[in-house]
Amino acid sequence: MGDFVDAHPDAVHPVTRTVIEGGRTLDAADCFRAQYRLAELRREADAAFAGIDVLVAPTAPTHYTVDEVEADPFNTNARLGAFTNCVNLLDLCAVAVPPGTTPAGLPFGVTLLAPAGRDYALLRAAAAFLGEEVPSAGEPLPGMVHLAVCGAHMAGQALNGELTRRGAWRVAATRTAPRYRLLALPDGKRPALIRSESGGAPIELEVWSVPSVEVGGFLATVDRPLALGSVELEDGRWVHGFVGDAGAASGAADITRFGGWRAYRETA
């Protein structure tokens, strides 16, 4: 690109040309220092996102006229990207939504941000924010498997790391069809989901997208009376998920009335 700019300076926008030519003042040491600093900032961002699902920020902090941008293109564009320039650098995903206008009648937007791979969760949040129909999770991406979890593997629970460290991400927080019972196993650490055509209720669960190559290793961590089966969701779809085997009810407490493992744990 630099050679092209040298040979055809008038063919490149002046602002773009200035940015490219500015790179000639930097050396390899500057590049590595910047990469190390970026790695530090990514670790800080990862730690910050460990406790939240979505970060909401203004899409742009202000409005500039065309004349203002042309008079000071570098600084105005830097300020306009104050909340969003970090998205690619920190390996995040983002979606902008238009909630309305300012008192002056100018458009105003907010951007929802999350770590890479949570695109669908952001689309769901954006749809809910705008009061629109939440899109279906649909089919898993190639090389991925949708897996429903309803207990200690859910986000924020004790065993969620068994999913996240295998590259899984949450695609939906939903409920089962109203044909399930939830049992607290005797160890007090896990529930078992049992299908029941009578006395059942919708049970809170999450659908996670798991790399196919990681499914075997993940299932090796699961002990009976839990097993992998099929779970019917409230929208009628069936997905793979954790269920209790035939002996799960032995010594277990029926906690269906709580509607989910989180609600039960909060009162236990």
Give the pLDDT confidence of 22-78 residue by residue, as tens digits.
Answer: 788 888 998 899 999 999 999 999 888 888 888 999 999 999 999 998 888 889 988
Which pLDDT value is given to residue 137?
58
Q: State residue 123's pLDDT score.
A: 81
Please say if the pLDDT value at position 134 is more than 70: no
pLDDT surpassing 60 at residue 135: no
Question: What confidence score (pLDDT) does residue 220 get?
Answer: 85
What integer pLDDT is reported at residue 110 of this predicted model?
A: 93
- pLDDT at position 136, please? 59
Q: What is the pLDDT of residue 223?
A: 80
Which residue spans of the chain are classified as CATH 3.10.490.10?
144-267
Q: What percent of the chain has pLDDT over 90?
A: 35
Residue 195 confidence (pLDDT): 93
Q: Which CATH architecture has domain 144-267?
A: Roll (3.10)
Q: Can you tell me the mean pLDDT for 128-138?
A: 71
pLDDT (0 to 100) of residue 96 = 94
- 146 pLDDT band, cuts 50/70/90, is very high
pLDDT value at residue 101? 87
More confident residue, 248 or 67: 67
Give pLDDT, residue 169.
84
pLDDT of residue 122: 83
* pTM of the entire predicted model: 0.54
- Average confidence score pLDDT of the chain: 87
DSSP annotation string for the chain: -HHHHHH-GGGS-HHHHHHHHHGGG--HHHHHHHHHHHHHHHHHHHHHHTT-S-EEEES-S----HHHHHHSHHHHHHHHTTTTTHHHHTTEEEEEEEEEE-TTS-EEEEEEEEETT-HHHHHHHHHHHHTPPPPP--SPPTTEEEEEE-STTSTTSTTTHHHHTTT-EEEEEEEB-S-EEEEE-TTSS-EEEEE-SSS-B--EEEEEEEEHHHHHHHHTTPPTTEEEEEEEBTTS-EEEEEEE-TTTTTTPEE-GGGSSHHHHHHH-
pLDDT tens, residue by residue, 177-221: 999 999 998 888 889 999 988 888 999 999 998 999 998 888 888
pLDDT score recorded for residue 230 = 93
